[in-house]
Amino acid sequence: MRGFKPYLRVVLFLLLWFAISRFLDFGLIPWNYAESDIKRITTATYDDLFIGTSHGANNISPAAVDQETGRKSTNICLPREFPVDSYYLIKLACETGHKPDRVIYELDPTYWTLLEPQDANSYYIYRSFPLCLSKLLYFKGKTMHLDWRFTLSPWRDYTDRFKDFFQLIRQKTTMDHETFQRVHLDDKNDRLTEDGQIAKTITEGMKRGGYEEVIPFSPDRVQAGSLKWFLNIASFCKKEGIGFTVIRTPVPKETREHFAENYAAADEYFTQLFGSYGISLIDFSKVPDPELEKSEHYVDADGHMDETLAAYFSTVLGKYLKKQ
Amino acid sequence: MSFLSAKFLLYVAAVTFLYYVVPKKKQWIVLLLASYFFYAAAGVKLLAFLMCTTLSTYGCGLLVSAIDLKYPDRKEKMARQRPVILATLFLNFGILFVLKYMNFVIDLVRPGAGHVEWALPLGISFYTFQSVGYILDVYWKRTEAEKNPFRFALFVSFFPQLLQGPIGRYSRLAKQYKEEHSFSLLKLEHGVQRMLWGYFQKFVLADRAGVVVTEVFNHDLNYSGITHITAVLFYAIQLYADFSGGMDVVIGIAEILGITLDENFRQPYFSVSITDFWHRWHITLGTWMKDYLFYPMSLSKWMSKYGKHAKKVFGKRTGRIMPIALSNIIVFLVVGIWHGSGWKYIVYGLYNGGLIALANLCTPLFEAMFRITKIDPKSRFMHVVRIIRTFILVLISFYFDIAGNLRIALRMLKASVTGFTFRTLTDGTLLTLGLEKKDYLILLFGVAAVFTMSLFREFGHDIRLDVDRKALPVRWVFYLILFFSVPLLGMNNIVGGGGFIYARF
């Protein structure tokens, strides 16, 4: 028993450290849209699952798509969702018994060329996962390769929120995710809909992003990791008998003209790549539609739409998806 | 596998667990497998280089030892041993040279001819030097040749030290790998303590200071001389915190496994001369150079001839120092080249070697000056003056180490003395270099913490012992502060970077 005591002390110390860390997590890290998305894909029923980036999150309205397709879809596209994150989100949906009939992957070529920065945003989707096998695999596939400070102390990137520490604890203990999201995440410009669209509203005086915010695509900058995880998604869908379609959302005409060379390079690269794997790509940035080319309903040059244009685009998308 | 990733910590935990649960006689096998797995994780193909060095130096050691036993005649023995050693040195330094310096040679011979693109095996400079040290030790009978190739492979590849040293000696490491190690909580506590201190230095100081260094040294023309001086000061913080921090992590892991590695730092910024600095900075490289290059060269026949010639030309006193001065210049030229390919590294080495040679040659002059001015060179005041002087000389050398090339280094050095205005320090320029006010405060706090620790050590305090003697609750608070200050005060890593500087060697 005496020999056991020092080990007990180590365990107690680790428990103390763990308790303080989780307390800091609870008081510093606000809930985000990922919690609502994950809750939806693990509880609701749906036929089509949209995955992808902020473009998909803003531009795809599942309700509008469903009106055309007659199916039920949900959108779990999220800002800073890299192919690796998308892969584990699909796995999570399947693990929890909500396997979709079809996955529609929204392709943002920019994400394929970015080496993911290591900050709190690299972890927020992982953190929102419930404790399950997919989370363990997600840890193995992504999280454990990143800086250990985020894994052990996710609160570290939120230390500027110390002043709201007890307020956040109060909010988290009195609200569920959806209420928290409505009260604290939705604002006059962004609103998460019930089916997962982050609907944008252009308000007076709102700063719109220009060309400087667009990261032009270049095939020589494609990260091996992005390609690997995208192919993992495709093969996982094939193995599970899930339909797989890739779409690219439109951009204002001016952006396409301004970055004509980069768009041409992306067209060539992805057409060739997807062709070699037999994956279909619907590139709406090439679809000639005067409504989709006008820049006034885009919140930035990068192609994020407001709610009105997103609804229109989703109708067009729905028509294409219905044909498939 | 980055030392900064969660995967690495899990790996260390798993290896430690396995290491202590297997029968003690098999512990070294766990370490060998863990080391090779660690290396293979960076690229299986690169294992070929590690294995080539391992096999060639292992074979050379056996052969040299066998010749030693077989031939009693010294001359015959040497005549047979030397070709074996030379061939092994040629092979191993040849691999290092081709992989690390080929592009530099291409630039020299055919400028603009394009570069050869190949991956540099992890830690190649470290394991090559460590292995070469072993064969010379066998040749000089400082150690016996290892008969078990797998044990020898562990000596070359021990995973914590593989990437950034310290460059170990076979005589000290081999017996530790053979020994049986029992798990001890104190070892674990000390190891974790050391690792945390290493991570603190890396994340809180090195990564933060590195932001200013990168900005100023990449855009030097945008900044005035005083900003250049600030940047090189920050580089002194970054390099020390990064390398010394990395060493603490390495030595801490080894400590958990019951292996004591050589120390690589001893408060280098308290050095009173450049010679002293190199006795305190990257100590294992310095002692390697001293034992395997400086002494053999100083005691060689041709250096002895040169000494005699120098005595004739410069007189007895200076002539006696000349061979040592020349050896120092050559040794530091090699140290410079070891740091990387490019003229700036050659100048970096020559600058250090030149200063040491000059100091040797000018010793009589300095002694005379002290006599005439009646200044006591051993006084506390002079000690501080010498520390400051040495630090300034070290800072000058850092321009060559960190600048993109020699031209930029010289341009920045010139600007540092000709084009600066103190106003830059107060007009907000510092806040445009990538750090905010709070970052400077954290940096100041971190530097104060490291300085205080160094000061205690310099005066012979054993801080670890002090911590051990504290009551358990005090120790817990100390560890909790350390555990939380690393994530709380640490800087976020830059995209695609953030590794230890010396892990690129």
pLDDT in tens, B3-56: 888 999 999 999 999 999 999 999 999 999 999 999 998 888 889 999 999 999
The strand pairing partners of A48, in sequence order, are: A73, A102
How far is CA A322 from each of CA A62, A93, A311, A314, B88, rounded to the nearest angstrom? Answer: 13, 23, 16, 12, 70
Q: Shortest CB distance from A144 goes to which of B5, B480, B492?
A: B5
% of chain B surpassing 90 pLDDT: 58
The residue-averaged pLDDT of B142-150 equals 93
pLDDT greater than 60 at residue B497:
no
Tell me which DSSP letter residue B145 carries: P
Considering CB atoms only, which of A16, A143, A157 is closest to B6? A143
Token pair in block for residue A88:
């584990």
Helix-, strand-, coil-residue percentages of chain B, each rounded to 5: 80, 0, 20
Check CB contact of B483 with chain A, cutoff 8 Å.
yes
Nearest to B496 among A16, A115, A149 (CB): A115
User: Which of B193, B202, B442, B495 to mutate to test binding with chain A, by most A CBs within 10 Å of its CB?
Assistant: B495
- The first and second tokens of residue B297, run together, are 């060269």
Q: In this complex, is the C-beta atom of B192 within 8 Å of any C-beta atom belonging to chain A?
A: no
Q: Are strands A48-51 and A102-106 parallel, antiparallel or unpaired?
A: parallel
The residue written with tokens 């309903």 in the block is A297
Q: What are phi and psi for residue A302, nearest 5 degrees?
A: -80, -10
Closest residue in A to B495 (Cα) is A117
Residue B182 with chain A: CB contacts under 8 Å: none
Positive/negative CA dihedral, B475, B477, B479, B482 = negative
Report domain A5-323's class.
alpha beta
Any A CB within 8 A of B183 CB? no
Whether residue B5 and residue A146 make contact (CB cut-off 8 A), yes or no, is: yes
Q: Do B5 and A153 touch (CB under 8 A)?
A: no
Contacts of B23 (CB under 8 A, 6+ apart): none
CA angle (A172, B491, A155) in 5-degree steps: 15
Which residues 446-465 on chain B approach chain A with CB closer than 8 angstroms?
Answer: none
Chain A residues whose CB is inside 8 A of the B2 CB are 145
Orientation angle between helical segments B124-139 and B47-70, nearest 10 degrees: 10
Residue B137 and residue B59 in contact, taking contact as beta carbons nearer than 8 Å? no
Q: Please indicate whether, in this complex, the C-beta atoms of B496 and A13 are within 8 angstroms of each other.
A: no
Q: For all residues of chain A together, what is the average pLDDT?
A: 88
- Using a CB-CB distance cutoff of 8 angstroms, which residues of chain B are in contact with residue A146? 5-6
Q: Which residues of A touch B188 (CB under 8 A)?
A: 10
| A144: nearest CB among B7, B476, B498 | B7
Residue B290 identity: K
| Minimum CA–CA partner of B188 in chain A | A10
Place of tokens 């990564």: B207
The DSSP code for A300 is B
Chain A positions in Cβ-Cβ contact with residue B495 (cut-off 8 Å): 115-118
Report helix angle A83-95 to A133-141, nearest 10.
160
Q: What are the residues whose beta carbons fall under 8 Å from the beta carbon of B355, sequence distance 6 or more?
A: B274, B393
Q: How many Cα atoms are found within 13 Å in the side-chain-facing hemisphere of B319?
A: 13
b/e string for B133-150 if b means 16 or more Cβ within 10 A?
bbbbbbbeeebebbeeee
- B369 inside 8 A of chain A by CB: no
Confidence (pTM)? 0.87
- Rounded to a whole number, what is the distance in Å from the CA of B487 to chain A's nearest CA? 5
Candidates A17, A29, A118, A127, partner chain B, best to mutate (most B CBs within 10 A): A118
Q: Measured at the alpha carbon of residue A31, what is the angle toward residues A303 and A225, in degrees to the nearest 5?
A: 55
- Cβ pair A316, A284 in contact under 8 A: yes
CB of B487 closer than 8 Å to CB of A149: yes
What b-and-e string marks burial along B8-33, b requiring 16 or more CB atoms within 10 Å of the CB?
bbbbbeebbebbbeeeeeebbbbbbe
Instruction: Give yes or no for B4 touching A (CB within 8 A).
Output: yes
- Cβ–Cβ contacts within 10 Å for residue B324, how many? 18
What is the token pair recorded at A319? 């028509």
Distance of alpha carbon B486 from alpha carbon A149, whole angstroms: 8
Say what the pLDDT of residue B121 is.
85
pLDDT, one tens digit for every residue, chain A (324 residues) = 557 888 888 899 999 999 999 999 999 998 888 888 898 888 888 999 999 999 999 999 999 999 999 999 999 999 888 999 999 999 999 998 888 999 999 999 888 888 777 777 788 899 889 999 999 999 999 989 888 888 888 898 888 889 999 999 998 888 888 888 777 777 888 888 888 888 888 888 878 777 877 788 888 888 888 889 999 999 999 999 999 999 999 988 888 888 888 888 888 899 898 888 888 888 888 877 888 888 788 888 888 998 889 999 999 999 888 887
Alpha carbon A204 to its chain's center: 27
Task: Using an 8 Å CB-CB cutoff, list chain B residues near A153.
Answer: 484, 487-488
Q: Are B133 and B288 in contact (CB under 8 A)?
A: yes
Q: What CA–CA distance (Å, rounded) separates A64 from A60? A: 8
Question: Among residues 226-285 of chain B, which lie with CB inside 8 Å of chain A?
Answer: none
Chain B hits for A152, CB-CB cut-off 8 Å, are 6, 487
User: Is the four-CA dihedral B349, B378, B449, B262 of positive or negative sign?
Assistant: positive
* Domain extents in chain A: 5-323
CA angle A193, A294, A215 (to 5 degrees): 75
- Token code pair at residue A303: 């192609």
What is the pLDDT, as a whole number, of residue B494?
53
How much is the pLDDT for B495?
43
In this complex, the residue of B6, B495, B498 whose CB is nearest that of residue A144 is B6
Give B203's contacts in chain A (Cβ within 8 Å).
Answer: 149
- State the pLDDT at residue B498: 60
Whether residue B4 and residue A148 make contact (CB cut-off 8 A), yes or no, is: yes
Task: Give the phi and the psi of residue A259 in degrees, each rounded to 5.
Answer: -110, 40
Chain B residue numbers with beta carbons less than 8 Å from the beta carbon of A157 are 492
Q: What is the Cα–Cα distance from B12 to B34, expressed in whole angstroms?
A: 9
Distance from CA of A201 to the nearest CA of B (A): 32
Identify residue A174 by its one-letter amino acid code: T
A to B CB pairs, distance under 8 Å: 61
Q: What is the mean pLDDT of the segment spanning B163-192? A: 91
Give the mutation candidate from B1, B2, B4, B7 for the A interface (greatest A CB count, under 10 A): B7
Residues of A in contact with B184 (CB under 8 A): none
Residue A320 CB-half CA count within 13 A? 18
Q: Is A248 helix (H, G, I), strand (E, B) or coil?
A: strand
Cross-chain residue pair A148–B9, CB shorter than 8 Å: yes
Reading the block at residue B492, the tokens are 């976020």
Strand blocks (E) in A138-248:
190-192, 198-200, 243-248
If one counts every other C-beta atom within 10 angstroms of the C-beta of residue B109, the result is: 8
pLDDT band at B505 (very low <50, low <70, confident <90, very high): low
Whole-number pLDDT of residue B61? 94
Max Cα distance, chain B (Å)? 76
DSSP-assigned letter for residue A157: G
Q: Is B171 on the interface with A (CB under 8 A)?
A: no
Under an 8 A CB cutoff, do B472 and A9 touch?
Answer: yes
Residues 6+ apart with CB under 8 A from A147: A118, B4, B5, B6, B492, B493, B498
Provide, as residue numbers in chain B, all residues whose Cβ is less than 8 Å from the Cβ of A117: 492, 495
- Residue B225: per-residue pLDDT: 85
Tokens of A246: 């890739």
Asked if the bond preceding A117 is cis, omega within 30° of 0, the reply is no
| CA distance, residue A159 to nearest chain B CA (Å) | 7
* Omega within 30 of 0 (cis) for the link into B166: yes
SS3 A182: helix
The pair of structure tokens assigned to A25 is 């997590």
Q: What is the CA radius of gyration of chain B?
A: 24
Answer yes or no: do A149 and B490 touch at CB < 8 A. Answer: yes
**Residues in B touching A119 (Cβ below 8 Å):** 492
Residues of A in contact with B8 (CB under 8 A): 148
* Chain B residue whose CA is closest to A5: B185
Beta strands A198-200 and A190-192: pairing type?
A: antiparallel
Tokens in use for B261?
Answer: 């590695």
Residue-wise DSSP of B478-503 = HHHHHHHHHHHHPPPPPTT--S-GGG
Smallest Cα–Cα separation from A320: which of A283, A285, A291? Answer: A283
Question: What DSSP string runs through B193-250?
Answer: HHHHHHHHIIIIIIHHHHHHHHHHHHSGGGS-HHHHHHHHHHHHHHHHHHHHHHHHHH
Q: What are the residue ranges spanned by the domains of chain B?
A: 6-183, 184-265+435-505, 275-402
Q: pLDDT per residue over B416-470, tens digit each?
A: 888 767 777 777 777 888 888 899 999 999 999 999 999 999 998 888 888 888 8
Structure token pair of residue B295:
């002494």
A166 CA to chain B: closest CA distance, Å? 19
- Position A292 scores a pLDDT of 84
Q: Measure the CA–CA gap between A267 and A109, rounded to whole angstroms.
A: 10
Burial readout B377-393 (b: 16 or more C-beta within 10 A, e: otherwise)? eeeeeeeeeebeebbeb
Cα separations (Å) of B108 from A191, B116, B405?
61, 14, 14
Residues in chain B, overall count: 505
Chain-centroid distance of CA A306 in Å reads 18
> Would an 8 Å CB–CB cutoff place B36 in contact with chain A?
no
Which chain A residues are closer than 8 Å to B9 by Cβ? 148
Beta-strand relationship, A280-283 and A48-51: unpaired
